Amino acid sequence: MRTAFRYNRPPALDLVKKPTLKVAVVIACRDGQDKLDLVLAALKEQTYPAALFTVYIIDDGSEKALVLPKIRPAKTKIIKFKNKDQAWGKTLATNYAVATLKEDVLWFLDADMIVEPHHLAHHMKWHHNADDFVVLGWKRFVADWQYSPELLSQELRAGAFADLHKVSETKEAWELLIKGTDELRKPGLESFRALVGATFSISRNNWKSLGGYNPIFTTGEDNELGWRALLAGLRFVPERQALSWHLGISTVEVHTDTVIAHNRPLFANHVPALSYLRANDQLTWAISENYVVADCRGMPAEAFKNMVNEFFADEKGQARFLLIGPWKDLAARYKVTNDSLRELREIKRWVAGDSRFTFEEITGDKKLLIPEILEHFDEPSTPFFYFTEGAIEPIVRFGALRHRISKSGNGLEGVVDSKDQRTFILYAPALGRANRAGGYAYSNIQELWGMRWHEISQFDFSKTLSSNNLLPLVGIAIRAAKRIRKPSDFTKLVKKVVHVLKKTISK
């Protein structure tokens, strides 16, 4: 099935009358039996056929082992995850349990979520339509609840879900993100934040291709998964009709500073979009923002150094390089004063001790075809890919290519010089969707996302200010504004926003 242009999708879908897809409802839980009993009571009232979904409760080392209550879906199982040093927590427990499941779709649900009877059915209408959707349920937070599982079941059967709570809270930053991206039809890199673990669904095949949760995350694992899903070209769908009540105020909202401090270094290392977290640090990040493939045949060492130094000047983004060339030829005997491989040898010697560079062997002088180049772009958490070859013209600025693609919205922007040498930038989500569509990826980028090639003399390489990564300011401002209690708090907020703004526009 071919995907639509960029992130377009049907404006609305009806519930599927005769669904066929099987669902694994995955609930990781540690203690909290009382809340879990309510969650299961709500799941029992789901209108999606009971024969098509199974609830898997992962007991993540509860002090008192979880048990199955009387009111629950017909197919409900407990999977015990044996805790031990370096093997505990929701992330590892979930990866462990899901690895053995066979259902078509995985619906991840927190153990404190009361869902409306059609909630799962609203998720599944999208999965029946296409296999590249990640569906996000809609939730509101409540501080108090008085009902028992028996009373909850009665109220849900009576159609009183909306009347369960008169007072609730929303997550303003999340809903602002949804609204500001036209319901995620026009997501930017910052939109990975939309994937939160409380209630979301994804095909099992896509979960498997993404590699599941990153095991080093004990919190924020859902957002990091969202980052990889976005770059892989999956379409996020916030389903406003998939309603739910979250029992209790968000842990992040209650312990904001503690959670942010815990997650900051992990997100700085693994999510390049959050470049403001990398500001003023000289560290080498686990995931770079840029991945550069350079065909070094015929490339002067000076041009090579100018290229890499431009990328190295960006401390926040950083880059990794794959250098293609006849590297084995350098082992042959040569004469220093008459070395036909002098430039290639110099390139290799400059970077031989730098782990940011890897090498790939190529023989002959045949130009690489575009499909061959695209096959080298296999860095699942890196948002921008570059390719360049030969004697790079001094006028070329890779930052200008980055600026152009951010302004045009194309999936690829490139230049060609008088010697037919190519330099281009490729946006990872565009490549992800092109690969997902099947067939010729290069044509798919054009069809599904858009591309443009320029004669090098017609391309504007002048420096311009970038507005990239301004969206994080919104989240910062919202969180900080909630804590304003006196004039000095407001002054601190203004200074913080100005500081991040300066760092962003000076990029």
Query: Which has more pLDDT, 280 or 106?
Result: 106
In a domain, 466, yes or no: no
Q: What is the pLDDT of residues 113-170, one digit of tens each?
A: 999 999 999 999 999 999 999 999 999 999 999 999 999 999 999 999 999 999 999 9
How far is residue 188's CA from residue 409's CA, in Å, rounded to a whole number?
10
How far is residue 211's CA from residue 215's CA, in Å, rounded to a whole number?
10
Please say whether the beta carbons of 212 and 108 come within 8 A.
no
Please say whether the beta carbons of 263 and 219 come within 8 A.
yes
How far is residue 457's CA from residue 460's CA, in Å, rounded to a whole number?
8
Range of the domain at 363: 290-458
Q: Residues 202, 351: one domain? A: no
Q: How would DSSP label each residue in 176-188?
A: HHHHHTTTTTS--
User: Measured over all CA atoms, what is the biggest interatomic distance in the chain, rounded to whole angstroms?
Assistant: 90
Which of 255, 272, 301 is a domain's end point? 255
Please say whether the beta carbons of 37 and 71 come within 8 A.
yes
In a domain, 274, yes or no: no
Question: Residue 301 burial (CB < 10 Å; 0-12/13-18/19+)?
Answer: middle
Q: State percent of the chain over pLDDT 70.
A: 89
For residue 495, pLDDT beyond 80: no
How far is residue 342's CA from residue 357's CA, in Å, rounded to a whole number?
19
In a domain, 6, yes or no: no
Q: With 0.85 as the threshold, say if the pTM is over it.
A: yes
Residue 196's closest CA among 176, 174, 211, 212? 174
Q: What is the DSSP letter of 191?
A: G
In a domain, 450, yes or no: yes
Q: Residues 368, 484: one domain? A: no
Q: What is the pLDDT of residues 354-404, one digit of tens each?
A: 999 999 999 999 999 999 999 999 999 999 999 999 999 999 999 999 999
Output the pLDDT for position 504: 40
Q: Residues 109, 178: one domain? A: yes
* 1 — pLDDT class (breaks 50, 70, 90): very low
In a domain, 358, yes or no: yes
Q: Which stretches does DSSP call E strand in 143-289? A: 199-203, 235-247
Output the pLDDT for position 469: 46
For residue 473, pLDDT beyond 90: no
Measured CA angle at 349 (ends 343, 353), to 5 deg:
150
Q: What is the DSSP letter of 217?
A: -
Q: State percent of the chain over pLDDT 90.
A: 81
Output the pLDDT for position 280: 84
Please say whether the beta carbons of 147 and 34 come within 8 A.
no
* 87 — pLDDT class (breaks 50, 70, 90): confident
* Residue 394, domain CATH: 3.90.550
Output the pLDDT for position 282: 86
Q: Which token pair is 336?
A: 């220093």
Q: Residues 232, 297: one domain? A: no
For residue 507, pLDDT beyond 50: no
Total domains present in the chain: 3
Q: Residues 334, 378: one domain? A: yes
* Residue 110, domain CATH: 3.90.550.10
Estimate the crossing angle of helix 428-437 against helix 441-448, to 10 degrees. Answer: 110
Q: Residues 448, 477: one domain? A: no
Q: Residues 446, 492: one domain? A: no
Please say whether the beta carbons of 236 and 194 come within 8 A.
yes
Instruction: Say how many residues make up the chain.
Output: 507
In a domain, 284, yes or no: no
The whole-number average pLDDT for the span 165-188 is 95
Please say whether the beta carbons of 231 and 428 come within 8 A.
yes
Please say whether the beta carbons of 281 and 271 come within 8 A.
no
In a domain, 275, yes or no: no
Q: Which residue has the tokens 């896509």?
A: 206
The whole-number average pLDDT for the span 418-432 is 97
Output the pLDDT for position 241: 98
Q: Which residue has the tokens 């694992």?
A: 221
Q: Residues 336, 414: one domain? A: yes
Q: How would DSSP label each residue in 122-191?
A: HHHHHHHH-SSEEEEEEEEEES-----HHHHHHHHHTT-GGGS-S--B--HHHHHHHHHTTTTTS--GGG
In a domain, 430, yes or no: yes
Q: Which residue has the tokens 């601190």?
A: 492
Q: Residues 228, 119: one domain? A: yes
Q: Which token pair is 316?
A: 């926040």
Q: Which token pair is 19?
A: 């669904």
Q: Residues 245, 329: one domain? A: no
Q: Residues 223, 175: one domain? A: yes
Q: Residues 241, 305: one domain? A: no
